[in-house]
Chains A and B, each alone.
Chain A
């Protein structure tokens, strides 16, 4: 398969180092303390945050920090394939864990002892890069809920096909079976907090791909900051008005 033409265009018309179009909306679920919808191309994820609130199961309560929980689901209509997936399948459990660990890393949990923060993420539409979209949505929802964070965390994937490092793979590119790297990144601290890779890569290629994914994270961070800034402005405008 030709994923990049000799003219340097991908099948969907992007160049290798381009992100898909992003869209974000803060506050989609009014009942939650914070929520956001985040889209990367045709991948669309909803995140809702409840908390900090009282720990439901007292045995899990921690005296020195907050308990972070995460539940990941995929809407049955998200892939267009009407296959019913059980809620607790292995993939969901694994992604839930990845998201929880990544978010826990940037939440200042010690400021909220004996409390619980619940993060719900649901994939509404899947077209590659769902994991990254979930993390980006969760970041926005946490910020919306006013949960103290040391930095925002953003995520992006990059892969390697036809001897080209490709940023932000869509479903078709993702299914090509090439190596792909998902990175979670704290932009202000310039720190990688998540790195997942599902195929072997020679080290020099890996460095390129990883660097590209970090570039992507930085671009997403800029976008997310702008969205948050815009949102804050709007809130101020409403309050003032």
Chain B
């Protein structure tokens, strides 16, 4: 059956053209109900249960997707007309609906009403698109009703009053989503309902316990047309709002139009914008740029206390430098004020669901079981969110997920609704899941499509691999690996052979992951999406499926494995004479741990080949390292923490700093060298599409806190170049043996992190890796756990002419997106790792209150921040109670970086050692936190 649809379409040049499209109507589209006798039931999805079959309209799907995802809602018919509308309006909701429709555990059936001969409707003249589609939905609902002939009830779910009226007139059962959910009698489902705007008025009652609060709190958002013209005229500036992780009342908007960051002080100026929203900003007048600072913390009552946290690994983890010393009278720094502004409109919302818990509150009396509560996100950048719940008692001690629905001008907080609960607060599994959700980490098992891409097990090197001319047979070499103890995903191995001319042949052999992960496969797509493996204290979330990471690709001892090798000839002075790259077959003779390797080198009685090679390599590595440091590479100190975990309970048994041995440094040195050699090779062949890694030179502003501290302790730091900084760090020696390490730790947190980029996006001087003092750098050595290395392996293979580069590499914008995703995933993996360590630190100290030594690293108006070297954490120590913040008898000397008692009896200096007591306290039920107090 054929029907020609004609419509007019505007062409690019503005002409209006009539278009005729064929539209086939079919008689082989089935209803999907398993009870139906007329249709092919092999495709049936809708159950035989007594519950009605639901036909949803577009708005219900768009607004209530969270509810639909709850398994209590089933037997749903998704009409193709609805799917098309949802797709046009919100792609992410569309993807979620599609996931429901393809989920075999759910009973969602897609009915292609637009191609069914009995449910297709022609447009009527004078009818709007919306009305036409509403009619199509009613026609389809009616068809189901007639087709199933009363065997099951059919319900049209729509919140559109007019549509519902017409449906009932036409004899179709119709209800609003609210009344349908109420009829199910499951109260927890009601929490999932997204509140429509008119019901929002009731929600105001939460705050209205305090009178006179119903006033306009925020200024109106400008309409889009005004924003567009304002942007055009240069009076507004567009950018993505980023909220300061450590001070949620301060945000930044990177603006291309003024080439600088605009600072937004306070929630009023942020004007209901969320972190990640694309906003339009208006600059404040110049005289307001400074003053605003005093508002920073005094915004309102929900000023949160700083928590004990891990020592920052870089500037990205650390609080911004700006104005830590509020309330101090010292004159502010000489730097010119940065532009400040306020948000006047939101161009694109970044709302999603957030993980957190409810603000503890008493059970309200006599409100019919409905309570209004404030949700506090784990992510401090997110404001509190008001929700309505019928299960308050049940939720108070849970980690829950909440989605934002709206934020009007009258409400201090945005309104949202409960999505689901994860588990009890403080429970290790719950909190670990929170860490994963918060950092957008996919920890689901790999799909069957991904698993089918794997070679069958048991896998071994085949004669075909050995005969392959692109592969060198290096099985005769004495190859071994050195890793942390218990490492199962071994992606690198080494060899070192003394040559007859006195030189050494040194090889770095990396797992040949791209031999198994091919572009365009489900496996490759999944790995690209995940971007990196994630290491939590008690578990690892792999980028690639286990058979690859722990077996096929892992360069284990005594098995033949495929590798990608970088081989140098080096003089005894560690100068590189020549470099070659080849795919290879190796057979590792030993998988050593760092400790074992170190012990072998240290044991002078041992003379076996592995130990001999280790010593040679170590000698070379030391020279390479020295040369690197001479070039200006920074040897920064980080405080990595190691837990010993109880295998049974998974609770931490012991905690301590990660010890770095010579053997670690040796392996690291050769990995760095391999990465540099590969970077040079790929860039030579692919100047525009090589994936590299850069570390930007820190700006003077970023180093400001380091310099201030240095001046206070009488240290002269030269930060003019990485070389100068490295030298002055070397000279930074005090009477205190720990002083140098402390200064290095402070320097580390001033640097930003290194990032991935494609060579075509930047100019060669920007390629530099500041921390390593390398002109070029990339990641090649860990393809099992980093996707960047997978890309680099493909580039290297292509530069050797043994692999054809996929056409993707010609697509510049696509490449930039890939690099952005890698940076995002890398960053999230690190944050998750840190959060996991923080979580286990808390669990550890719960049973073990401890006294220990700490160092003062930052002076505050009411105390100071200390660093606890033994456990790698830092946190606030208060000298005065929280309430008497400004009025204490303590006085801060900003110049000298010290805090003194007014009568001069006690003084605390920056970097001074103090003894503290660490203990887990619960200021509010179910909200444990680690507290540091002065002894």
Interface residues of A (CB under 8 A from B): 5-7, 9, 11-14, 20-21, 41-42, 80-81, 127, 170, 172
Contact = CB atoms under 8 A, between A and B. Distances in A.
B2 A9 contact: no
Contacts, number: 45
Contacts of B182: none
Nearest to B11: A81
B660 to A, nearest CB: 48
A21 B22 CA distance: 10
A13 B101 contact: no
B271 interface: no
Contacts of A13: 22-26, 112, 114-115
A147 to B, nearest CB: 33
A12 B22 contact: yes
B110 interface: yes
B22 A170 contact: yes
Nearest to B807: A200
Which has the most chain B C-beta neighbours within 10 Å: A7, A12, A13? A13
A6 B97 CA distance: 12
Interface residues of B, number: 21
Contacts of B25: 13
Contacts of A7: 80, 110, 112
Nearest to B83: A5
Given A6-B110, A7-B110, A12 B102 contact: no
A20 B17 contact: no
Contacts of A170: 21-22
Given A21-B2, A42-B4, A5 B22 contact: no
B110 A42 contact: no
B19 interface: yes
B80 A5 contact: yes
A6 B112 contact: no
Contacts of A127: 20, 22
B22 A80 contact: no
Contacts of A11: 21
Which of A9, A14, A42 counts the most B-chain CB atoms under 10 A from its CB?
A9
Contacts of A172: 21
Contacts of A20: 22
Contact of A9 (B4, B19, B101, B112): B112
A89 B22 CA distance: 29
Given A7-B112, A41-B22, A81-B17, 9 more contacts: A7-B80, A11-B21, A12-B21, A13-B22, A13-B26, A21-B2, A42-B4, A127-B22, A170-B22
Contacts of B215: none
B539 interface: no
Contacts of B18: 80
Nearest to A82: B15
B700 interface: no
26 contacts: A5-B110, A5-B112, A6-B98, A6-B110, A7-B112, A9-B115, A11-B21, A12-B23, A13-B24, A13-B114, A13-B115, A14-B24, A20-B22, A21-B2, A21-B22, A41-B22, A42-B4, A42-B21, A42-B22, A80-B17, A80-B20, A81-B17, A127-B22, A170-B21, A170-B22, A172-B21
Nearest to A171: B21
Return the 4 tightest CB-CB contacts between A and B, nearest first: A13-B24, A13-B115, A12-B22, A41-B22
Contacts of A6: 98, 101-102, 110
B521 to A, nearest CB: 12
Contacts of B2: 21
A170 B101 CA distance: 28
A14 B112 CA distance: 12
Interface string B46-85: 0000000000000000000000000000000000100000
Interface string B497-538: 000000000000000000000000000000000000000000
Contacts of A21: 2, 22
A80 B11 CA distance: 11
Contacts of B101: 6
Contacts of B17: 80-81
Nearest to B17: A80
A172 B9 CA distance: 14
Contacts of B112: 5, 7, 9, 13
A199 to B, nearest CB: 11
A42 B6 CA distance: 12
Interface string B17-45: 11111111110000000000000000000
A14 B1 CA distance: 11
Contacts of B19: 80
A127 B18 CA distance: 13
B307 to A, nearest CB: 46
Nearest to B120: A13
Interface in B627-683: none
B24 A42 contact: no
Contact of B24 (A5, A12, A80): A12
A170 B17 CA distance: 18
B857 to A, nearest CB: 55
A170 B5 CA distance: 14
A175 B17 CA distance: 17
Contacts of B98: 6
Nearest to B19: A80
Nearest to B116: A13
Interface string B108-123: 0010101100000000
